[in-house]
Amino acid sequence: MTQQKYTYSTVGGNIGKQKHIALIAHDNKKEEMTEWANQNKEILQRHFLYGTSNTARQITEKTQLPITAYSSGPLGGDQQIGARIVDGDITLLIFFWDPLESQPHDPDIKALLRIAAVYDIPIATNMATADFLLSSYYMDNEYRIEKTRSTVRLVQIPEEEG
């Protein structure tokens, strides 16, 4: 027989002065993302940039901004970026998603947005919100996440034999 035990972990920390920004866009939003990145090139070049493969390629071709590229979203890129958020390596997510079109990897998209929310990083899902984030006081300053959020995980503990 096994016992069940709950363990708790907290989420929190600092978002440094130099941000680690993930840039992702669905196919119908890639041109919008590319134009937005080009308009904000001076700000973005002061930070570390990451993206899914096609979005990163298109932005780099237009802006010459260096972007670390992961796999395409449907091939696991959203999950790779989610893992980097969990590790604390990505601290801001700009994801121009297309709410009017179904995506084959919708569960991955939902998981990425959930992870970003759980880890309390800023998220922009459209150009207006992205503009607000880039013009924020915290874009060039450190942000301390004061609060912690507890997450609960159920762990199976084997009963000791004796």
pTM of the predicted structure, to 2 decimals:
0.81
Residue whose entry in the numeric block shows the structure tokens 């670390």: 68
pLDDT for the residue numbered 106: 75
pLDDT at 67: 97
The full 3-state SS of 55-114, as one line of letters, equals HHHHHHHHHCCCCEEECCHHHCHHHHHHHHHHCCCCCEEEEECCCCCCCCCHHHHHHHHH
Helix 127-134 to helix 30-39 angle, to the nearest 10 degrees? Answer: 20
Each of the 162 residues of the chain gets a pLDDT tens digit; together they read 455 444 444 455 788 899 999 999 988 999 999 999 999 999 999 999 999 999 999 999 999 999 999 999 888 899 999 999 999 999 999 999 887 677 766 778 889 999 999 888 999 999 999 999 999 999 999 988 765 555 544 445 556 655
The pair of three-digit structure tokens given for residue 41, joined into one six-digit string: 């090139």
Q: What is the pLDDT of residue 157?
A: 52
Question: How far is Cα 93 from Cα 105, in angstroms, rounded to an integer?
Answer: 18
Catalytic residue chosen out of the listed positions 78, 87, 106, 108: 78
Pairing of strands 143-158, 2-15: antiparallel
78 is catalytic: yes
